[in-house]
Amino acid sequence: MISLYRSRARRFAVTLLTLVILLILLLLVSTSVGPYYIPLRDVVIALTSTSSDYRVIVLGIRLPRSIAAVFLGATLAICGHLLQTLFNNPLVEPYTLGIASAAALGTVVAISGNLWFLGSQAPQVLAFTFAFATSLLLLTLYRVLNLSITQLLLLGISLSLLYSAISTAIQLYFVRDVHAVFFMIMGRVSHCRWSHIVTLSIAAALCLVTGTVLAKPLNALLLGEEHCLATGYDVRVLTLAILFLTSLSTSLAVSTCGVVSFIGLVTPHISRALVTSEHRYSVPTSAVLGACLTLLSDMVARSAVPPFELPLSVVTAMFGVPFFMYIMLKLRYG
């Protein structure tokens, strides 16, 4: 038994170190990619020297954008991981459950309305309110109606479509700059500067701390609610804590960068395959892996069709949809 634990810990350490090195390399490469290519040598000089001609571009635009993608990916990956554990469903994440779309609707309502009493934090406040209300609704219907995996998924997708329809109507009739809001809601980090990173880092930290601190009760929850209760954990408190923190983190991410789909779906599966399903190992692995995937997606988004830039959700859907179909078929046919 001790050798097994040591083997898992060693495997986790090697995997996490490899992913961190990959993430650092992707960060360097991402700062060189854009409408104007900057050689890696000049990027390094810009980061270390105040006399570089590229310092303003690298430190003022590209590096904040890349770091924002890192925190965004980590947040979405851990949120998806926690929700999959909570609902015991391999197909759920903030996007497929409609939580991300609810947060987006709250953001659009805040942008279109004159909510002076909420101040500058109106998008975050309304995004969280809509996201948390949707989470509670889903959980209530899931428990009361004893929904299957497929039924829960269909309910989440239906809510997502409803929120998207309402959001589109509001944008058409109540938002002045429809193009800018639409592009933001579709997911982007191109506008992110150092001030946005504070919000995204808080979201990522909340997720990482939650997943790490609650690792033992989450492991117990994997074996069923009865087992979780038998080991002394309050399932109701655990459930509300996960829903609250994932809703809060998702709303911070969506109100800052819009809706980015499938990162929260794909990453936990790869993480559990690389290490184990034990949350003290899989949650940090999901965070770094989600950061890598989102950063790579952003690099593709900004360089695929120059001089235009694709929304992040367009790129993530390219690999997310086939993966979603694969999981569906695997559940159906084993």
pTM of the complete model? 0.93
Tell the burial category of 294 from Cβ atoms under 10 Å away from its Cβ (0-12, 13-18, 19+): buried
Per-residue confidence band for 185, with pLDDT thresholds at 50, 70 and 90 = confident
Q: Which structural domain range is residue 157 located in?
A: 61-333
Residue 10 belongs to a domain: no
Residue 46 belongs to a domain: no
Residue 24 belongs to a domain: no
| Predicted confidence (pLDDT) at residue 90 exceeds the cutoff of 90 | no
Residue 236 belongs to a domain: yes
Tell the burial category of 129 from Cβ atoms under 10 Å away from its Cβ (0-12, 13-18, 19+): middle
Residue 27 belongs to a domain: no
Tell the burial category of 65 from Cβ atoms under 10 Å away from its Cβ (0-12, 13-18, 19+): buried
pLDDT higher at 111 or 180? 111
**CATH code assigned at 245:** 1.10.3470.10
d(CA 200, CA 156): 25
Give the list of residues 6+ apart from residue 190 with CB closer than 8 angstroms, or none.
65, 302, 309
Residue 211 belongs to a domain: yes
| Predicted confidence (pLDDT) at residue 334 exceeds the cutoff of 70 | no
Residue 214 belongs to a domain: yes
Task: Report the chain's mean pLDDT, rounded to a whole number.
Answer: 89
pLDDT by residue (tens digit) across 189-204?
988 888 899 999 999 9
The pLDDT, as a whole number, for residue 110 is: 85
The pLDDT, as a whole number, for residue 6 is: 80
| Predicted confidence (pLDDT) at residue 296 exceeds the cutoff of 70 | yes
- Number of domains the chain contains: 1
The pLDDT, as a whole number, for residue 1 is: 59
pLDDT higher at 325 or 78? 78
| Average pLDDT of the residues in 5-30 | 92
Percent of the chain with pLDDT over 90: 53
| Average pLDDT of the residues in 89-116 | 87
Residue 314 belongs to a domain: yes
Cα separation of the two ends of the chain: 30
| Average pLDDT of the residues in 284-293 | 96
The pLDDT, as a whole number, for residue 201 is: 95
The pLDDT, as a whole number, for residue 116 is: 58
